[in-house]
Chains A and B, each alone.
Chain A
Amino acid sequence: DVKVTQSSRYLVKRTGEKVFLECVQDMDHENMFWYRQDPGLGLRLIYFSYDVKMKEKGDIPEGYSVSREKKERFSLILESASTNQTSMYLCASSVRDRGYEQYFGPGTRLTVT
């Protein structure tokens, strides 16, 4: 089974801190994604990546950056955390052979105070 892991389930940070959220997948998938999930808004795509060192902006990239130095790892960076970035963050990976079905990690609930 595909496994997508995220570095933390719960995280509390202060305003202005630099925050790293890590995601690792173990199935050699070429595509990886970062979403944030807020009540009533569903999943919104922040960034995605089709290959190592490649990245594409999603719908809400402002205030975020990403890094993909290795195929299995995709990091989301909040350069200067703000309270409006308090949210659930979900990572996913996918591969063409399965119709781009996405496999999700358990999520990181980030609180910025």
Chain B
Amino acid sequence: AQSVTQLDSQVPVFEEAPVELRCNYSSSVSVYLFWYVQYPNQGLQLLLKYLSGSTLVKGINGFEAEFNKSQTSFHLRKPSVHISDTAEYFCAVSETSRGSTLGRLYFGRGTQLTVWP
């Protein structure tokens, strides 16, 4: 089965600092990649996704991610964070052509980003 690893369970940063949240996956087949954000007591909201084309993907709220096929990674970055970015972030992978599991997303365990003033 597909495996998604978020290397950091918690990332504390100060406001206006840059941040990178790391994500690696295990699939050797073609994939779609996603980052979701979850604010307290809410469902997940899509931040950005990679389906094909340019490996640098821009999302909402100033976030971007880069797909690296050789390293099977999809790290999320923001050059300057705000306190309002405090939330949990989930990386997810979907295989594009795998039979009965087509459409299923495999999630990492999440990274809690805390932005301090």
A contact residues vs B (CB 8 Å cutoff): 4, 31, 33, 40-43, 45, 48, 50, 56, 90, 92, 94, 96, 99-107, 109
Q: Whole-angstrom distance between the alpha carbons of A96 and B97 in the complex?
A: 11
Q: Does B63 contact A (CB under 8 A)?
A: no
Q: Across the interface, name the chain A residue whose C-beta is closest to B95.
A: A100
Contact A42/B108 with A100-B94, A107-B42 known, Cβ cut-off 8 Å: yes
User: Does B43 contact A90, Cβ atoms closer than 8 Å?
Assistant: yes
B contact residues vs A (CB 8 Å cutoff): 9, 32, 34, 36, 41-46, 49, 51, 90, 92, 94, 100, 102-105, 107-110
User: Beyond A92-B44, A100-B94: 17 further Cβ-contacts under 8 Å?
Assistant: A31-B103, A40-B9, A42-B90, A42-B108, A42-B110, A43-B44, A43-B107, A99-B32, A99-B94, A100-B32, A100-B102, A101-B34, A101-B46, A102-B105, A103-B46, A106-B42, A107-B42
User: Does A40 contact B103, Cβ atoms closer than 8 Å?
Assistant: no
Taking chain A's interface residues, is the majority helix, strand, or loop, or is none over half, making it mixed? strand
Q: Indicate which residue in A4, A90, A99 contacts B49 across the interface (CB closer than 8 Å).
A: A99
- Nearest Cβ in chain A — how far from B13, in angstroms? 21
User: Does A101 contact B103, Cβ atoms closer than 8 Å?
Assistant: no
Q: Across the interface, name the chain A residue whose C-beta is closest to B110.
A: A42
Pick 26 A–B contacts, CB within 8 A, sort by A. A31-B103, A33-B104, A33-B105, A41-B109, A42-B90, A42-B108, A42-B109, A42-B110, A43-B90, A43-B107, A45-B104, A48-B104, A90-B43, A94-B105, A99-B94, A100-B102, A101-B46, A102-B34, A102-B105, A103-B46, A104-B36, A104-B44, A105-B43, A106-B42, A106-B43, A107-B41
